[in-house]
Structure 1
Amino acid sequence: MNPSAHIAFRVAAAFVALGLGGALIAAIVGLVLTNVGPAASASLSLCAKDGVAPAGGKDYLAQNNVWNAETPQCVTVGDQSLRIESAAHDVSPQGAPAATPSLLKGCHWQDCTDVGDLPVQVSAMPRVTSDWVTSQVDTGVFNAAYVVWFHSGPVAEGTPDGAEMVIWLRSRGGVRPGGVMLAREVPISDARWNVWLARDQGRVRITYERVGETTAVRDLDISAFTGDSVGRGLVSPDWYLIAVEAGFNLWRGGAGNAIENFSVSVDDQKPRRALGTSAPTPCFAALNVEETWTGGFRAVVEVTNVGDSPVQGWILDWTFPGGQHVERTSVGQVTQSGSSVHLVGGVRDGVLEPGKSTSFDVVGSGVSPGIVSITCTPA
């Protein structure tokens, strides 16, 4: 990218770390950028696998970002817009996508935009919102999603070491978020979202899957999603939000999908709000009902190690919503008092390594409990 642009972002990041305000940061960045000419407004084509280009002005970058395939792909980049002109990908929907063409504000690995309002520290986050309008085809296998990156410092020199927060708006071809579902239909930013958790390349990945698909959002409150992740112990208040991306994960095809417009707003004029002091939690569990009959049900409890150390045993606590009772489980010891359930279990042979999951059955009496919130503590 433009070397002066990269320097400008890092100057801004340094002053964010010192706690200086947005207006002063913008002034300093303006001085750094004095000799940087305006970005061209005409559209251009990107076909290199790792091609990056300005996407109208200084605040946005476009990425071709073919990272898991050798197949060709070309995108046309305009003013805060991007169109996929060709994409010959064909990888399994059960694995990672072939490419993620996207628009970016902030810093993605070594590629940075020239803005002074990112990064922001989670513990003092202003309201961060985004508009995104897409046009999407009815062929191929893909999804449309935001990726919000968190890092332990204001700028990541390489791979971000915090968390990857995905806000999943629509998919085609049967792809689903990876990992274990933590909660169903959580209300955030005027919609409902299923919350998924996975661990990937040493990072926690939290996916908010929209209930009811859409191709456009207005004033999507990214700070509210961040607050939910902090409350779940998945994002640390000490980390920094360093980038917001919006684009398409492509497994098969993808030509014709387009970002018509994308913008991110950081409101430094309103008081910043504290987002809590939660620390990352070592394990998570989710209960999903698989089978029902008159007077009973069978559920599967999935336990995931999201910590950094192996786990052999765990303690699960939950409360049934409607008088249900555990009759038996395929693993662990259960005690129940009223609606409160306490289960002590673990891996039969060996340990549960970081990022891995295990599951067991719970047979209960009563009506189906639906989604149940579980507290998981390593034993």
Structure 2
Amino acid sequence: MPRMNSLRRRARSLGTAATAAFVTLVTLASLVSLTAVVTAAATPAQADTLICEQFGSTVIQGRYVVQNNRWGTSEAQCVNATTTGFELTRADGSVPTNGAPKSYPSVFNGCHYTNCSPGTNLPMQVSAIGSAPTSISYGYVSGAVYNASYDIWLDPTPRTDGVNRTEIMIWFNRVGPINPVGSRVGTATVAGRGWEVWTGNNGANDVISFVAPSAIGSWGFDVMDFVDQAVARGLAQPSWYVTSVQAGFEPWQNGAGLRVNSFSSSVNAGSGGDPGGPGDPGTPAGACRVTYTPNVWPGGFTTNVTVANTGSAPVSGWKVAFTLPSGQRVTNAWNAAISPSSGAVTATNLSSNAQIPPSGSQSFGFQGTYTGTFTAPAQFSLNGTACSVA
């Protein structure tokens, strides 16, 4: 949806004052009584940041921006930025459900109306991006009309201000009588999931929306799977730029209590420190060993996967490929982006763990569901090289 074309102002932070603690020490020795009072300032607890300013923002994790972004209403709205995400603590008023939402409280990597997240490498040209792993965990409420939406913005130029040409929206959840911009044009399977596909124009930019048929609470995926869809449908070009990756909510009515519990986003160039696209497996591995350690309960499991480089050369960027047994599905992942969610899957490094030196290793994990009898994958490969299994 369109955002207000005005400069975003800095967040209004409400800090927590240090509290004073008084300690009284009493010592009795023989017939002499001595009392001493010591006053010391206690270390303040790490405070969240409350943002009620219309376009206020703050930085979390040292690399992402949380923004209030109340662009479609004059009613009060506040977000509480936490160490890993944010909560919408106040969301007054409502707007008609057949029009635009009242705001987009969100967290982002990249640039939004001249506000760029610390250390971001966005904008980056689509053709130069090898992978863009991300993960998100949402918290939902009842009694509100809203979507939980993940936004990806693209433009023919590397602009860091104003409205971009194309907006990709991923609707993780839809509550109430609301629909995306435009009209439904069909369905598609993207990143291992099925979606309704909507396309249209909101008067400022083109929009392609992917709507989940049922609510998704948390998920890790590669942003480029959706960018490739936009390119294939003529709504972007490989020469265009990804300018920002955002996750949040679009409320139409109420919305207090909606949460982004956690968010991560990396954008990796197609050469150097990552394995690149589907046809670019990264630095070939000389030899490797995989240790797969599951923890299983009825209907669900978590597993830790350690991939060791047993060759003599470093591996720069990695993709670990394996096939999940029938009935198993990935629901959440950490330290890697896993796609698709079932069948033959590939775990792709994040920007922070792309290197595996000789005699070194990297670990990632995921949570999943299963039906029938649980079994572990039988074979693994690292950048196309078959690995031994410990």
TM-score by length of 2: 0.57
Percent of matched pairs sharing the same residue: 30
Matched residue, 1:76? 80
Matched residue, 2:303? none
* 1:10-89 equivalent positions in 2, closer than 5 A: 42-57=47-62, 59-89=63-93
Matched residue, 1:193? 195
Contact map agreement 1:41 1:56 (CA 8 A) in 2: no
Q: Is the alpha carbon distance of 1:119 and 1:272 closer, same or farther for their aligned partners in structure 2, counting shifts above 3 Å?
A: farther
- Kindly state the Cα deviation for residue 41 of structure 1 after the two structures are TM-superposed: 5.6
Does 1:176 pair with 2:179?
A: yes
Gaps of 5+ in 1: 4-39, 276-379
Contact map agreement 1:124 1:274 (CA 8 A) in 2: no
TM-score by length of 1: 0.59
Q: Deviations over 1:16-58 (max 9, x none)?
A: xxxxxxxxxxxxxxxxxxxxxxxx963110001111111231x
Between the aligned partners of 1:209 and 1:92, the Cα distance in structure 2 is 20
Between the aligned partners of 1:173 and 1:116, the Cα distance in structure 2 is 35
**Counterpart pick for 1:159 among 150, 159, 163:** 163
- Kindly state the Cα deviation for residue 144 of structure 1 after the two structures are TM-superposed: 0.1
- Kindly state the Cα deviation for residue 271 of structure 1 after the two structures are TM-superposed: 4.3
Does 1:149 pair with 2:153?
A: yes
User: More helix per residue: 1 or 2?
Assistant: 1
- Kindly state the Cα deviation for residue 205 of structure 1 after the two structures are TM-superposed: 0.5
Contact map agreement 1:80 1:103 (CA 8 A) in 2: no
Contact map agreement 1:83 1:259 (CA 8 A) in 2: yes
Contact map agreement 1:163 1:203 (CA 8 A) in 2: yes
Gaps of 5+ in 2: 1-7, 11-44, 280-390
Q: Number of residues paired by the alignment? A: 235
Between the aligned partners of 1:139 and 1:60, the Cα distance in structure 2 is 29
Q: Is the alpha carbon distance of 1:257 and 1:202 closer, same or farther for their aligned partners in structure 2, counting shifts above 3 Å?
A: closer
Matched residue, 1:215? 217
The DSSP-based 3-state class of the residue aligned with 2:157 is coil
Q: Which amino acid counterpart does residue 61 of structure 2 have in structure 1?
A: G
- Kindly state the Cα deviation for residue 61 of structure 1 after the two structures are TM-superposed: 0.5
Contact map agreement 2:50 2:79 (CA 8 A) in 1: yes
- Kindly state the Cα deviation for residue 199 of structure 1 after the two structures are TM-superposed: 0.7
The DSSP-based 3-state class of the residue aligned with 2:208 is strand
Please give the root-mean-square deviation of Cα atoms over the aligned residues, in Å: 2.1
Between the aligned partners of 2:80 and 2:120, the Cα distance in structure 1 is 27
- Kindly state the Cα deviation for residue 85 of structure 1 after the two structures are TM-superposed: 0.8
- Kindly state the Cα deviation for residue 216 of structure 1 after the two structures are TM-superposed: 1.2
Matched residue, 2:125? 121
- Kindly state the Cα deviation for residue 175 of structure 1 after the two structures are TM-superposed: 1.3
Between the aligned partners of 2:246 and 2:222, the Cα distance in structure 1 is 14
Q: Is the alpha carbon distance of 1:116 and 1:71 closer, same or farther for their aligned partners in structure 2, counting shifts above 3 Å?
A: closer
Between the aligned partners of 1:116 and 1:75, the Cα distance in structure 2 is 23
Q: Which amino acid counterpart does residue 209 of structure 2 have in structure 1?
A: T
Matched residue, 1:255? 256
Contact map agreement 2:106 2:247 (CA 8 A) in 1: yes
* 1:105-120 equivalent positions in 2, closer than 5 A: 105-120=109-124
Matched residue, 1:334? none
The DSSP-based 3-state class of the residue aligned with 2:132 is strand
Contact map agreement 1:41 1:79 (CA 8 A) in 2: no
Q: Which amino acid counterpart does residue 252 of structure 1 have in structure 2?
A: Q
Contact map agreement 2:51 2:57 (CA 8 A) in 1: yes
Contact map agreement 2:137 2:263 (CA 8 A) in 1: yes
Q: Is the alpha carbon distance of 1:228 and 1:97 closer, same or farther for their aligned partners in structure 2, counting shifts above 3 Å?
A: same
Contact map agreement 1:149 1:165 (CA 8 A) in 2: yes
Q: Which amino acid counterpart does residue 43 of structure 1 have in structure 2?
A: D
The DSSP-based 3-state class of the residue aligned with 2:231 is helix
